[in-house]
Amino acid sequence: MAMTLRLDDRQTEALRRKAAAEHRSMQQVALAAIEAYVHQPTPQRRAAVPVGDLMDMFAGLPPVDPSAFRADVDRDLDTSAHFDAYERAQGAERAE
């Protein structure tokens, strides 16, 4: 199905930059964004499971130490940030 998508200048430029950074067409990036959006859970679906049922489902799990959990999340974010910075640096070297 053909469709017309009207973007303002700011949105168009953001889409253009994203497509260039990923070496993809603007259409491919827009389609990926639409796919991600339409397949995400809706607030109604998230709210459809009663909290009591969730508590019962996860009752057998061991308790989580909040500081250890936070440390794991921070370590993961640091790794992701490092990887992203590394990838950007590698891309800059290849462009030169």
Q: What is the pLDDT of residues 15-32, one digit of tens each?
A: 999 999 999 999 999 999
- At residue 19, the pLDDT reads 93
Q: Are residues 19 and 33 in the same domain?
A: yes
Number of domains within the chain:
2
Per residue, the 3-state secondary structure of 2-23, as one string, reads CCCCCCCHHHHHHHHHHHHHHC
Q: Are residues 54 and 85 in the same domain?
A: no
- At residue 86, the pLDDT reads 61
Q: Are residues 37 and 22 in the same domain?
A: yes
Tens of pLDDT, residue by residue over 38-92, are 888 777 666 677 888 888 888 888 888 888 888 888 877 766 665 666 666 666 6
Q: Are residues 54 and 96 in the same domain?
A: no
Q: Do the domain assignments include residue 1? A: no
Residue ranges making up the domain that contains 91: 62-96
Task: Classify each residue of 35-72 as buried b or exposed e, where b means 16 or more C-beta atoms within 10 Å of its C-beta.
Answer: eeeeeeeeeeeeeeeeeeeeeeeeeeeeeeeeeeeeee
Q: Are residues 52 and 26 in the same domain?
A: yes
Q: Are residues 11 and 55 in the same domain?
A: yes
